[in-house]
Chain A
Protein backbone atom coordinates (compact mmCIF):
# COMPACT_ATOMS: atom_id res chain seq x y z
CA UNK A 1 0.00 0.00 0.00
CA UNK A 2 2.70 2.46 1.04
CA UNK A 3 6.32 1.86 0.15
CA UNK A 4 9.38 4.04 0.75
CA UNK A 5 12.45 3.14 -1.23
CA UNK A 6 15.65 4.85 -0.05
CA UNK A 7 13.87 8.13 0.41
CA UNK A 8 15.75 11.30 1.22
CA UNK A 9 14.07 14.64 1.72
CA UNK A 10 16.24 17.70 1.80
CA UNK A 11 14.72 21.12 2.32
CA UNK A 12 16.13 24.22 0.66
CA UNK A 13 18.96 25.35 2.86
CA UNK A 14 20.36 21.85 3.23
CA UNK A 15 18.33 20.58 6.17
CA UNK A 16 17.84 16.82 5.67
CA UNK A 17 14.49 15.85 7.15
CA UNK A 18 14.65 12.20 6.05
CA UNK A 19 17.79 10.23 5.30
CA UNK A 20 17.73 7.22 2.99
CA UNK A 21 14.61 5.68 4.51
CA UNK A 22 13.13 2.37 3.29
CA UNK A 23 10.07 0.63 4.68
CA UNK A 24 6.62 -0.48 3.66
CA UNK A 25 3.17 -0.45 5.20
CA UNK A 26 0.73 -3.19 4.22
CA UNK A 27 -2.85 -2.68 3.20
CA UNK A 28 -5.09 -2.56 6.24
CA UNK A 29 -2.21 -2.08 8.67
CA UNK A 30 -2.29 0.40 11.53
CA UNK A 31 1.11 1.94 12.19
CA UNK A 32 2.37 4.50 14.67
CA UNK A 33 5.10 6.97 13.89
CA UNK A 34 7.04 7.99 16.96
CA UNK A 35 9.89 10.32 17.67
CA UNK A 36 10.66 13.75 19.08
CA UNK A 37 9.75 16.96 17.32
CA UNK A 38 11.90 17.47 14.26
CA UNK A 39 12.48 13.77 13.74
CA UNK A 40 10.80 13.86 10.35
CA UNK A 41 7.36 12.46 11.22
CA UNK A 42 5.41 15.27 9.55
CA UNK A 43 7.66 15.19 6.49
CA UNK A 44 7.10 11.46 6.15
CA UNK A 45 3.31 11.90 6.23
CA UNK A 46 3.50 14.79 3.76
CA UNK A 47 5.47 12.63 1.38
CA UNK A 48 2.76 9.95 1.50
CA UNK A 49 0.09 12.56 0.78
CA UNK A 50 2.13 14.10 -2.04
CA UNK A 51 2.29 17.46 -0.28
CA UNK A 52 6.08 17.30 -0.43
CA UNK A 53 8.24 15.59 -3.00
CA UNK A 54 11.11 13.31 -2.14
CA UNK A 55 14.54 14.68 -3.10
CA UNK A 56 15.80 11.15 -3.79
CA UNK A 57 14.23 7.70 -3.83
CA UNK A 58 10.72 6.52 -4.57
CA UNK A 59 7.48 6.90 -2.67
CA UNK A 60 4.85 4.41 -3.82
CA UNK A 61 1.25 4.84 -2.73
CA UNK A 62 -1.37 2.43 -4.08
CA UNK A 63 1.24 1.29 -6.60
CA UNK A 64 1.83 4.78 -7.96
CA UNK A 65 5.17 6.51 -7.75
CA UNK A 66 4.51 9.96 -6.34
CA UNK A 67 8.00 11.25 -7.02
CA UNK A 68 7.46 10.93 -10.76
CA UNK A 69 3.94 12.30 -10.79
CA UNK A 70 3.02 15.68 -12.15
CA UNK A 71 1.40 18.20 -9.84
CA UNK A 72 -2.07 17.90 -11.24
CA UNK A 73 -2.12 14.08 -11.03
CA UNK A 74 -1.28 13.89 -7.36
CA UNK A 75 -4.74 15.17 -6.48
CA UNK A 76 -6.25 11.86 -7.58
CA UNK A 77 -3.98 10.02 -5.17
CA UNK A 78 -4.97 12.42 -2.42
CA UNK A 79 -8.63 11.69 -3.02
CA UNK A 80 -7.98 8.20 -1.63
CA UNK A 81 -6.22 9.60 1.40
CA UNK A 82 -7.77 11.17 4.46
CA UNK A 83 -5.45 13.49 6.31
CA UNK A 84 -5.76 14.90 9.80
CA UNK A 85 -3.51 17.94 9.81
CA UNK A 86 -1.50 19.04 12.77
CA UNK A 87 -2.91 22.56 12.41
CA UNK A 88 -6.37 21.21 11.47
CA UNK A 89 -6.68 23.37 8.33
CA UNK A 90 -10.34 23.99 8.94
CA UNK A 91 -12.05 26.66 6.84
CA UNK A 92 -13.47 29.30 9.13
CA UNK A 93 -15.69 30.93 6.54
CA UNK A 94 -18.20 28.05 6.49
CA UNK A 95 -20.03 25.96 9.01
CA UNK A 96 -19.13 22.52 10.33
CA UNK A 97 -21.36 20.73 7.83
CA UNK A 98 -19.85 22.49 4.82
CA UNK A 99 -16.33 21.84 6.06
CA UNK A 100 -16.99 18.11 6.10
CA UNK A 101 -18.81 18.29 2.77
CA UNK A 102 -15.73 19.62 0.98
CA UNK A 103 -14.01 16.28 0.14
CA UNK A 104 -17.29 14.88 -1.22
CA UNK A 105 -17.76 17.96 -3.38
CA UNK A 106 -14.30 17.42 -4.78
CA UNK A 107 -14.76 13.77 -5.72
CA UNK A 108 -18.23 14.47 -7.07
CA UNK A 109 -20.66 12.77 -4.77
CA UNK A 110 -24.40 12.82 -5.29
CA UNK A 111 -25.70 15.66 -3.12
CA UNK A 112 -28.26 13.73 -1.12
CA UNK A 113 -26.00 10.77 -0.41
CA UNK A 114 -23.31 13.26 0.47
CA UNK A 115 -25.46 14.96 3.12
CA UNK A 116 -26.15 11.56 4.68
CA UNK A 117 -22.45 10.72 4.68
CA UNK A 118 -21.54 14.05 6.25
CA UNK A 119 -24.01 13.46 9.07
CA UNK A 120 -22.72 9.93 9.59
CA UNK A 121 -19.15 11.22 9.84
CA UNK A 122 -20.17 13.98 12.24
CA UNK A 123 -22.10 11.47 14.31
CA UNK A 124 -19.05 9.24 14.50
CA UNK A 125 -16.92 12.03 15.98
CA UNK A 126 -19.73 13.29 18.19
CA UNK A 127 -20.39 16.60 16.44
CA UNK A 128 -23.78 15.84 14.93
CA UNK A 129 -25.51 18.48 17.04
CA UNK A 130 -23.03 21.14 15.89
CA UNK A 131 -23.37 20.87 12.12
CA UNK A 132 -24.66 24.42 11.75
CA UNK A 133 -22.03 25.94 14.05
CA UNK A 134 -19.18 27.98 12.73
CA UNK A 135 -15.79 26.37 13.50
CA UNK A 136 -14.63 29.39 15.49
CA UNK A 137 -17.22 28.46 18.15
CA UNK A 138 -15.74 24.98 18.61
CA UNK A 139 -13.22 24.06 21.30
CA UNK A 140 -9.77 22.80 20.36
CA UNK A 141 -10.81 19.19 20.80
CA UNK A 142 -13.95 19.71 18.77
CA UNK A 143 -11.96 21.28 15.96
CA UNK A 144 -9.69 18.26 16.06
CA UNK A 145 -12.69 15.98 15.69
CA UNK A 146 -14.09 18.13 12.89
CA UNK A 147 -10.80 17.64 11.07
CA UNK A 148 -11.10 13.86 11.59
CA UNK A 149 -14.68 13.86 10.28
CA UNK A 150 -13.49 15.66 7.15
CA UNK A 151 -10.64 13.17 6.74
CA UNK A 152 -12.90 10.10 6.85
CA UNK A 153 -16.11 11.31 5.21
CA UNK A 154 -15.12 10.06 1.77
CA UNK A 155 -14.02 6.68 3.22
CA UNK A 156 -10.40 6.86 2.13
CA UNK A 157 -8.29 3.72 1.91
CA UNK A 158 -5.46 5.49 3.72
CA UNK A 159 -5.88 7.63 6.81
CA UNK A 160 -2.96 9.80 7.91
CA UNK A 161 -2.97 11.68 11.20
CA UNK A 162 -0.25 14.14 12.16
CA UNK A 163 -0.07 14.47 15.95
CA UNK A 164 -3.81 14.11 16.45
CA UNK A 165 -3.45 13.83 20.22
CA UNK A 166 -1.22 16.85 20.71
CA UNK A 167 -2.56 19.45 23.13
CA UNK A 168 -5.33 17.14 24.29
CA UNK A 169 -5.67 15.66 27.75
CA UNK A 170 -5.14 11.95 28.04
CA UNK A 171 -8.80 10.90 28.22
CA UNK A 172 -9.58 12.95 25.13
CA UNK A 173 -6.51 11.62 23.32
CA UNK A 174 -7.60 8.04 24.08
CA UNK A 175 -11.06 8.80 22.65
CA UNK A 176 -9.44 9.93 19.44
CA UNK A 177 -7.18 6.91 19.27
CA UNK A 178 -10.27 4.72 19.63
CA UNK A 179 -11.78 6.57 16.67
CA UNK A 180 -8.78 5.76 14.52
CA UNK A 181 -8.91 2.15 15.68
CA UNK A 182 -12.50 1.88 14.52
CA UNK A 183 -11.55 3.19 11.06
CA UNK A 184 -8.76 0.67 10.94
CA UNK A 185 -11.23 -2.07 11.82
CA UNK A 186 -13.34 -1.27 8.76
CA UNK A 187 -10.30 -1.81 6.56
CA UNK A 188 -8.45 1.49 6.25
CA UNK A 189 -4.67 1.68 6.36
CA UNK A 190 -3.93 4.04 9.23
CA UNK A 191 -0.71 5.93 9.98
CA UNK A 192 -0.64 8.05 13.14
CA UNK A 193 2.25 10.15 14.35
CA UNK A 194 2.77 11.26 17.91
CA UNK A 195 5.64 12.28 20.09
CA UNK A 196 4.08 10.64 23.14
CA UNK A 197 4.72 6.91 22.92
CA UNK A 198 2.75 5.94 25.99
CA UNK A 199 -0.50 6.20 24.05
CA UNK A 200 0.71 3.80 21.36
CA UNK A 201 2.06 1.04 23.47
CA UNK A 202 -1.39 0.00 24.67
CA UNK A 203 -2.40 -0.87 21.15
CA UNK A 204 0.31 -3.40 20.36
CA UNK A 205 0.76 -2.16 16.81
CA UNK A 206 3.94 -1.64 14.83
CA UNK A 207 5.74 1.53 15.82
CA UNK A 208 8.17 3.23 13.44
CA UNK A 209 10.55 5.25 15.56
CA UNK A 210 12.34 8.15 13.93
CA UNK A 211 15.21 10.28 15.15
CA UNK A 212 16.78 12.97 13.01
CA UNK A 213 15.35 11.53 9.84
CA UNK A 214 16.50 7.96 10.41
CA UNK A 215 15.13 4.90 12.17
CA UNK A 216 15.85 5.11 15.85
CA UNK A 217 17.38 1.99 17.34
Chain B
Protein backbone atom coordinates (compact mmCIF):
# COMPACT_ATOMS: atom_id res chain seq x y z
CA UNK B 1 0.00 0.00 0.00
CA UNK B 2 2.82 2.35 0.87
CA UNK B 3 4.39 1.56 -2.43
CA UNK B 4 1.14 2.43 -4.17
CA UNK B 5 1.14 5.91 -2.65
CA UNK B 6 4.84 6.25 -3.23
CA UNK B 7 4.37 5.51 -6.93
CA UNK B 8 1.56 8.03 -7.20
CA UNK B 9 3.48 10.74 -5.37
CA UNK B 10 6.53 9.99 -7.49
CA UNK B 11 4.57 10.18 -10.75
CA UNK B 12 2.82 13.37 -9.70
CA UNK B 13 6.11 14.99 -8.77
CA UNK B 14 8.05 13.99 -11.85
CA UNK B 15 5.16 15.01 -14.12
CA UNK B 16 5.10 18.46 -12.50
CA UNK B 17 8.87 18.77 -12.86
CA UNK B 18 8.57 17.81 -16.52
CA UNK B 19 6.04 20.60 -17.09
CA UNK B 20 8.13 23.16 -15.24
CA UNK B 21 11.27 22.14 -17.09
CA UNK B 22 9.88 23.23 -20.44
CA UNK B 23 8.14 26.41 -19.35
CA UNK B 24 7.71 27.81 -22.84
CA UNK B 25 6.24 24.77 -24.55
CA UNK B 26 4.09 23.99 -21.54
CA UNK B 27 2.88 27.57 -21.31
CA UNK B 28 1.72 27.66 -24.93
CA UNK B 29 -0.18 24.46 -24.39
CA UNK B 30 -1.66 25.65 -21.13
CA UNK B 31 -2.75 28.95 -22.66
CA UNK B 32 -4.46 27.16 -25.51
CA UNK B 33 -6.31 24.94 -23.05
CA UNK B 34 -7.21 27.80 -20.74
CA UNK B 35 -8.64 29.93 -23.55
CA UNK B 36 -10.77 26.96 -24.56
CA UNK B 37 -11.96 26.74 -20.97
CA UNK B 38 -12.37 30.47 -20.39
CA UNK B 39 -14.88 30.94 -23.22
CA UNK B 40 -17.68 28.74 -21.88
CA UNK B 41 -16.84 29.81 -18.35
CA UNK B 42 -17.33 33.50 -19.16
CA UNK B 43 -20.57 32.79 -20.95
CA UNK B 44 -21.72 30.72 -18.00
CA UNK B 45 -21.00 33.62 -15.67
CA UNK B 46 -22.78 36.07 -17.95
CA UNK B 47 -25.90 33.91 -18.07
CA UNK B 48 -25.74 33.22 -14.35
CA UNK B 49 -25.46 36.94 -13.67
CA UNK B 50 -28.42 37.63 -15.92
CA UNK B 51 -30.39 34.99 -14.08
CA UNK B 52 -29.46 36.44 -10.71
CA UNK B 53 -30.58 39.83 -11.90
CA UNK B 54 -33.84 38.45 -13.24
CA UNK B 55 -34.48 36.79 -9.89
CA UNK B 56 -34.05 40.10 -8.13
CA UNK B 57 -36.46 41.95 -10.39
CA UNK B 58 -39.24 43.59 -8.42
CA UNK B 59 -41.70 43.06 -11.22
CA UNK B 60 -41.81 39.31 -10.90
CA UNK B 61 -44.88 37.74 -12.49
CA UNK B 62 -47.87 37.73 -10.21
CA UNK B 63 -50.94 35.54 -10.35
CA UNK B 64 -54.23 37.10 -9.36
CA UNK B 65 -56.84 34.78 -7.87
CA UNK B 66 -60.43 36.02 -8.16
CA UNK B 67 -62.86 34.46 -5.73
CA UNK B 68 -66.45 33.68 -6.60
CA UNK B 69 -68.94 36.37 -5.68
CA UNK B 70 -70.60 33.95 -3.33
CA UNK B 71 -67.38 33.13 -1.50
CA UNK B 72 -67.64 33.44 2.24
CA UNK B 73 -65.10 34.16 4.95
CA UNK B 74 -64.51 30.44 5.53
CA UNK B 75 -63.65 29.87 1.83
CA UNK B 76 -61.30 32.81 1.87
CA UNK B 77 -59.49 31.58 4.91
CA UNK B 78 -59.24 28.10 3.33
CA UNK B 79 -57.51 29.59 0.29
CA UNK B 80 -55.41 31.68 2.62
CA UNK B 81 -54.12 28.57 4.43
CA UNK B 82 -53.44 26.73 1.17
CA UNK B 83 -51.38 29.62 -0.13
CA UNK B 84 -49.49 29.82 3.14
CA UNK B 85 -48.45 26.20 2.89
CA UNK B 86 -47.75 26.15 -0.85
CA UNK B 87 -44.02 25.72 -1.57
CA UNK B 88 -44.14 27.62 -4.84
CA UNK B 89 -45.79 30.67 -3.37
CA UNK B 90 -43.29 33.23 -2.22
CA UNK B 91 -45.78 35.73 -0.84
CA UNK B 92 -49.33 36.89 -1.38
CA UNK B 93 -51.68 39.71 -0.41
CA UNK B 94 -55.40 39.54 0.10
CA UNK B 95 -57.51 42.33 -1.34
CA UNK B 96 -61.08 42.20 -0.13
CA UNK B 97 -63.89 43.32 -2.38
CA UNK B 98 -64.49 46.34 -0.14
CA UNK B 99 -60.83 47.32 -0.35
CA UNK B 100 -60.81 46.92 -4.09
CA UNK B 101 -63.90 49.05 -4.50
CA UNK B 102 -62.54 51.79 -2.29
CA UNK B 103 -59.30 51.82 -4.23
CA UNK B 104 -61.16 51.98 -7.50
CA UNK B 105 -63.33 54.83 -6.29
CA UNK B 106 -60.45 56.93 -5.01
CA UNK B 107 -58.16 56.23 -7.94
CA UNK B 108 -60.67 56.92 -10.65
CA UNK B 109 -62.73 59.57 -8.91
CA UNK B 110 -65.85 57.46 -9.02
CA UNK B 111 -67.25 58.13 -5.57
CA UNK B 112 -70.60 56.55 -5.03
CA UNK B 113 -70.04 53.98 -7.77
CA UNK B 114 -71.34 51.12 -5.68
CA UNK B 115 -74.45 53.10 -4.84
CA UNK B 116 -75.12 53.53 -8.50
CA UNK B 117 -74.57 49.85 -9.19
CA UNK B 118 -76.65 48.80 -6.28
CA UNK B 119 -73.91 46.63 -4.75
CA UNK B 120 -70.24 45.78 -5.03
CA UNK B 121 -69.56 43.98 -8.30
CA UNK B 122 -65.90 43.31 -7.48
CA UNK B 123 -64.73 39.94 -6.17
CA UNK B 124 -62.33 39.22 -3.35
CA UNK B 125 -58.85 38.62 -4.71
CA UNK B 126 -55.44 37.26 -3.80
CA UNK B 127 -52.31 38.58 -5.49
CA UNK B 128 -49.76 35.76 -5.43
CA UNK B 129 -46.02 36.11 -6.05
CA UNK B 130 -44.64 32.72 -7.07
CA UNK B 131 -41.11 31.52 -6.34
CA UNK B 132 -40.47 30.34 -9.88
CA UNK B 133 -39.81 32.13 -13.14
CA UNK B 134 -40.21 29.07 -15.30
CA UNK B 135 -43.21 29.70 -17.61
CA UNK B 136 -44.09 26.02 -17.58
CA UNK B 137 -44.15 25.89 -13.81
CA UNK B 138 -46.09 29.14 -13.72
CA UNK B 139 -48.70 27.61 -15.98
CA UNK B 140 -48.93 24.61 -13.71
CA UNK B 141 -49.26 26.81 -10.66
CA UNK B 142 -51.93 28.88 -12.31
CA UNK B 143 -53.94 25.80 -13.19
CA UNK B 144 -53.57 24.43 -9.72
CA UNK B 145 -54.63 27.65 -8.05
CA UNK B 146 -57.63 28.15 -10.31
CA UNK B 147 -58.80 24.72 -9.24
CA UNK B 148 -59.05 25.70 -5.56
CA UNK B 149 -62.59 25.67 -4.17
CA UNK B 150 -64.56 28.85 -4.69
CA UNK B 151 -61.85 30.36 -6.88
CA UNK B 152 -63.37 31.72 -10.03
CA UNK B 153 -60.20 32.28 -12.01
CA UNK B 154 -56.46 32.78 -11.77
CA UNK B 155 -54.82 35.17 -14.18
CA UNK B 156 -51.32 36.26 -14.88
CA UNK B 157 -49.35 38.02 -17.55
CA UNK B 158 -46.88 35.46 -18.74
CA UNK B 159 -45.55 36.95 -21.93
CA UNK B 160 -42.64 38.96 -20.55
CA UNK B 161 -41.67 36.19 -18.13
CA UNK B 162 -41.69 33.81 -21.06
CA UNK B 163 -39.45 36.09 -23.04
CA UNK B 164 -36.95 36.53 -20.25
CA UNK B 165 -36.96 32.87 -19.51
CA UNK B 166 -36.45 31.99 -23.16
CA UNK B 167 -33.47 34.34 -23.29
CA UNK B 168 -31.93 32.77 -20.23
CA UNK B 169 -32.52 29.26 -21.44
CA UNK B 170 -31.00 30.17 -24.79
CA UNK B 171 -27.98 31.44 -22.89
CA UNK B 172 -27.84 28.17 -20.97
CA UNK B 173 -28.02 26.13 -24.11
CA UNK B 174 -25.29 28.19 -25.70
CA UNK B 175 -23.16 27.74 -22.61
CA UNK B 176 -23.54 23.99 -22.61
CA UNK B 177 -22.97 23.80 -26.33
CA UNK B 178 -19.74 25.76 -26.01
CA UNK B 179 -18.75 23.78 -22.94
CA UNK B 180 -19.34 20.54 -24.84
CA UNK B 181 -17.42 21.56 -27.94
CA UNK B 182 -14.53 23.12 -26.07
CA UNK B 183 -14.49 20.28 -23.55
CA UNK B 184 -14.00 17.94 -26.49
CA UNK B 185 -11.24 20.26 -27.68
CA UNK B 186 -9.62 19.95 -24.26
CA UNK B 187 -9.72 16.17 -24.51
CA UNK B 188 -8.23 16.26 -28.01
CA UNK B 189 -5.48 18.71 -27.13
CA UNK B 190 -4.37 16.68 -24.11
CA UNK B 191 -4.66 13.54 -26.19
CA UNK B 192 -2.23 15.07 -28.64
CA UNK B 193 0.22 16.38 -26.02
CA UNK B 194 0.31 13.04 -24.27
CA UNK B 195 0.68 11.21 -27.55
CA UNK B 196 3.76 13.30 -28.34
CA UNK B 197 5.17 12.50 -24.94
CA UNK B 198 4.48 8.82 -25.36
CA UNK B 199 6.29 8.86 -28.69
CA UNK B 200 9.23 10.65 -27.08
CA UNK B 201 9.37 7.97 -24.39
CA UNK B 202 8.62 5.02 -26.62
CA UNK B 203 11.78 3.11 -25.66
CA UNK B 204 11.12 3.49 -21.99
CA UNK B 205 7.56 2.23 -22.41
CA UNK B 206 8.68 -0.74 -24.48
CA UNK B 207 11.35 -1.76 -21.97
CA UNK B 208 9.19 -1.32 -18.87
CA UNK B 209 6.46 -3.31 -20.56
CA UNK B 210 8.93 -6.06 -21.51
CA UNK B 211 10.13 -6.46 -17.96
CA UNK B 212 6.63 -6.83 -16.59
CA UNK B 213 5.10 -3.43 -15.99
CA UNK B 214 1.30 -3.50 -15.96
CA UNK B 215 -0.48 -0.97 -18.14
CA UNK B 216 -1.38 1.11 -15.10
CA UNK B 217 2.30 1.55 -14.26
CA UNK B 218 3.06 2.79 -17.75
CA UNK B 219 0.01 5.02 -17.89
CA UNK B 220 0.47 6.62 -14.49
CA UNK B 221 3.05 9.34 -15.29
CA UNK B 222 1.05 10.45 -18.32
CA UNK B 223 -2.16 10.58 -16.35
CA UNK B 224 -0.51 12.82 -13.82
CA UNK B 225 0.89 15.03 -16.52
CA UNK B 226 -2.62 15.47 -17.88
CA UNK B 227 -3.98 16.03 -14.39
CA UNK B 228 -1.57 18.89 -13.76
CA UNK B 229 -2.26 20.32 -17.17
CA UNK B 230 -6.01 20.26 -16.56
CA UNK B 231 -5.68 21.79 -13.10
CA UNK B 232 -3.37 24.59 -14.14
CA UNK B 233 -5.35 25.36 -17.30
CA UNK B 234 -8.54 25.58 -15.23
CA UNK B 235 -6.87 27.97 -12.80
CA UNK B 236 -5.59 30.16 -15.63
CA UNK B 237 -9.05 30.16 -17.23
CA UNK B 238 -10.54 31.17 -13.90
CA UNK B 239 -8.01 33.98 -13.63
CA UNK B 240 -8.94 35.13 -17.13
CA UNK B 241 -12.64 35.32 -16.31
CA UNK B 242 -11.95 37.12 -13.03
CA UNK B 243 -9.94 39.63 -15.00
CA UNK B 244 -12.75 39.95 -17.54
CA UNK B 245 -15.29 40.51 -14.77
CA UNK B 246 -13.13 43.12 -13.07
CA UNK B 247 -12.49 44.91 -16.34
CA UNK B 248 -16.07 44.80 -17.60
CA UNK B 249 -18.01 45.40 -14.41
CA UNK B 250 -17.63 49.20 -14.25
CA UNK B 251 -19.00 49.53 -17.77
CA UNK B 252 -21.82 47.09 -17.09
CA UNK B 253 -22.90 48.88 -13.91
CA UNK B 254 -22.73 52.22 -15.69
CA UNK B 255 -24.98 50.87 -18.44
CA UNK B 256 -27.38 49.33 -15.95
CA UNK B 257 -27.58 52.55 -13.98
CA UNK B 258 -29.14 54.22 -17.00
CA UNK B 259 -32.05 51.83 -16.50
CA UNK B 260 -32.02 52.22 -12.74
CA UNK B 261 -30.87 48.66 -12.33
CA UNK B 262 -27.94 47.10 -10.50
CA UNK B 263 -26.21 44.50 -12.64
CA UNK B 264 -22.71 43.10 -12.49
CA UNK B 265 -20.89 39.99 -13.66
CA UNK B 266 -20.49 37.74 -10.70
CA UNK B 267 -17.51 35.54 -9.86
CA UNK B 268 -17.58 31.77 -9.57
CA UNK B 269 -18.82 30.45 -6.26
CA UNK B 270 -16.39 28.12 -4.43
CA UNK B 271 -18.41 25.00 -5.27
CA UNK B 272 -18.65 26.04 -8.91
CA UNK B 273 -14.92 26.70 -9.01
CA UNK B 274 -14.23 23.29 -7.50
CA UNK B 275 -16.53 21.58 -10.01
CA UNK B 276 -14.95 23.50 -12.88
CA UNK B 277 -11.41 22.56 -11.88
CA UNK B 278 -12.37 18.94 -11.28
CA UNK B 279 -14.17 18.77 -14.63
CA UNK B 280 -11.23 20.20 -16.49
CA UNK B 281 -8.81 17.78 -14.80
CA UNK B 282 -11.14 14.89 -15.57
CA UNK B 283 -11.43 15.78 -19.25
CA UNK B 284 -7.65 16.10 -19.52
CA UNK B 285 -7.23 12.68 -17.94
CA UNK B 286 -9.75 11.18 -20.33
CA UNK B 287 -7.64 12.50 -23.20
CA UNK B 288 -4.46 11.08 -21.68
CA UNK B 289 -6.08 7.73 -21.02
CA UNK B 290 -7.23 7.49 -24.62
CA UNK B 291 -3.77 8.29 -25.93
CA UNK B 292 -2.08 5.85 -23.55
CA UNK B 293 -4.48 3.00 -24.24
CA UNK B 294 -4.11 3.50 -27.95
CA UNK B 295 -0.36 3.19 -27.67
CA UNK B 296 -0.44 0.29 -25.20
CA UNK B 297 -2.60 -1.73 -27.57
CA UNK B 298 0.09 -1.38 -30.17
CA UNK B 299 2.92 -2.62 -27.94
CA UNK B 300 0.93 -5.57 -26.58
CA UNK B 301 1.95 -9.19 -27.30
CA UNK B 302 1.43 -10.19 -30.91
| Total residues of chain A contacting the partner, CB 8 A | 31
Any B CB within 8 A of the CB of A51:
yes
A4, B105: Cα distance in complex, Å: 108
Which residue of A53, A89, A111 is within 8 Å of B302 (Cβ)? A53
Any A CB within 8 A of the CB of B119:
no
Q: A109-B3, A111-B6 are in contact. Are A78 and B300 (CB under 8 A)?
A: no
**Chain A, Cβ-Cβ closest to B203:** A91
> Which residues of A are found within 8 Å of B300, using beta-carbon distances?
71
With both chains docked as a complex, state the minimum distance between the C-beta of A115 and any C-beta of chain B, in angstroms. Answer: 13
**Chain A, Cβ-Cβ closest to B215:** A72
Q: A76-B214, A83-B211 are in contact. Are A53 and B301 (CB under 8 A)?
A: yes
Any B CB within 8 A of the CB of A81:
yes
> Which residues of A are found within 8 Å of B6, using beta-carbon distances?
111
A:17-55 near B, CB below 8 Å: 49-53
Report whether A106 and B3 are in contact in the complex, using a CB–CB cutoff of 8 Å. no
Report whether B213 and A106 are in contact in the complex, using a CB–CB cutoff of 8 Å. yes
> Which residues of A are found within 8 Å of B296, using beta-carbon distances?
71
> Which residues of B are found within 8 Å of A111, using beta-carbon distances?
6
Report whether B210 and A108 are in contact in the complex, using a CB–CB cutoff of 8 Å. no
A120, B206: Cα distance in complex, Å: 26
Any B CB within 8 A of the CB of A79:
yes
A:129-171 near B, CB below 8 Å: 150
> Which residues of A are found within 8 Å of B3, using beta-carbon distances?
108-110
Report whether A81 and B301 are in contact in the complex, using a CB–CB cutoff of 8 Å. no
Report whether A106 and B212 are in contact in the complex, using a CB–CB cutoff of 8 Å. yes
> Which residues of A are found within 8 Å of B4, using beta-carbon distances?
108
With both chains docked as a complex, state the minimum distance between the C-beta of A94 and any C-beta of chain B, in angstroms. Answer: 9
Report whether A76 and B212 are in contact in the complex, using a CB–CB cutoff of 8 Å. yes
A111, B2: Cα distance in complex, Å: 10
Report whether A93 and B204 are in contact in the complex, using a CB–CB cutoff of 8 Å. yes
Q: A81-B212, A89-B210 are in contact. Are A50 and B203 (CB under 8 A)?
A: no
Which residue of A51, A72, A106 is within 8 Å of B208 (Cβ)? A106
> Which residues of B are found within 8 Å of A71, using beta-carbon distances?
215, 296-297, 300-301
Any A CB within 8 A of the CB of B209:
yes
> Which residues of A are found within 8 Å of B212, using beta-carbon distances?
75-79, 81, 103, 106-107
> Which residues of B are found within 8 Å of A72, using beta-carbon distances?
214-215
Q: A91-B204, A108-B7, A110-B3 are in contact. Are A51 and B215 (CB under 8 A)?
A: no
Any A CB within 8 A of the CB of B73:
no
Report whether A51 and B301 are in contact in the complex, using a CB–CB cutoff of 8 Å. yes
B:1-58 near A, CB below 8 Å: 2-4, 6-7
Report whether A106 and B217 are in contact in the complex, using a CB–CB cutoff of 8 Å. yes
Report whether A89 and B214 are in contact in the complex, using a CB–CB cutoff of 8 Å. no
With both chains docked as a complex, state the minimum distance between the C-beta of A194 and any C-beta of chain B, in angstroms. Answer: 21
> Which residues of A are found within 8 Å of B209, using beta-carbon distances?
75
Any A CB within 8 A of the CB of B247:
no
Which residue of A74, A83, A90, A105 is within 8 Å of B301 (Cβ)? A74
Q: A52-B301, A53-B302 are in contact. Are A75 and B214 (CB under 8 A)?
A: yes
> Which residues of A are found within 8 Å of B302, using beta-carbon distances?
52-53
B:196-240 near A, CB below 8 Å: 203-204, 206-215, 217
> Which residues of B are found within 8 Å of A83, using beta-carbon distances?
210-211
Any B CB within 8 A of the CB of A128:
no
Report whether B211 and A103 are in contact in the complex, using a CB–CB cutoff of 8 Å. yes
A:85-107 near B, CB below 8 Å: 85, 89-93, 102-103, 105-107
With both chains docked as a complex, state the minimum distance between the C-beta of A202 and any C-beta of chain B, in angstroms. Answer: 30
**Chain B, Cβ-Cβ closest to A74:** B301
Report whether B210 and A78 are in contact in the complex, using a CB–CB cutoff of 8 Å. yes
A102, B301: Cα distance in complex, Å: 20
> Which residues of B are found within 8 Å of A51, using beta-carbon distances?
210, 301
Report whether A75 and B213 are in contact in the complex, using a CB–CB cutoff of 8 Å. yes
> Which residues of A are found within 8 Å of B297, using beta-carbon distances?
71
With both chains docked as a complex, state the minimum distance between the C-beta of A12 and any C-beta of chain B, in angstroms. Answer: 9
A106, B6: Cα distance in complex, Å: 12
> Which residues of A are found within 8 Å of B207, using beta-carbon distances?
89-91, 102
With both chains docked as a complex, state the minimum distance between the C-beta of A44 and any C-beta of chain B, in angstroms. Answer: 15
**Chain B, Cβ-Cβ closest to A93:** B204
Q: B3, B4, B296, B301 — which one has the most chain A CB atoms within 10 A of its CB?
A: B301
A72, B2: Cα distance in complex, Å: 23
- Return the CB mask of B276-302 against A: 1 if under 8 Å, else 0: 000000000000000000001100111
The list of the 10 closest CB pairs from A to B, nearest first, reads A78-B212, A108-B3, A79-B212, A71-B300, A106-B213, A75-B214, A89-B207, A75-B212, A53-B301, A72-B215
- Besides A72-B215, A83-B211, A89-B207, 5 other A-B contacts (C-beta < 8 A): A71-B297, A75-B209, A76-B212, A106-B217, A108-B4
A to B CB contacts below 8 Å, 12 in the list: A49-B210, A50-B301, A52-B302, A53-B301, A72-B214, A75-B213, A75-B214, A78-B210, A89-B207, A90-B207, A91-B204, A108-B7
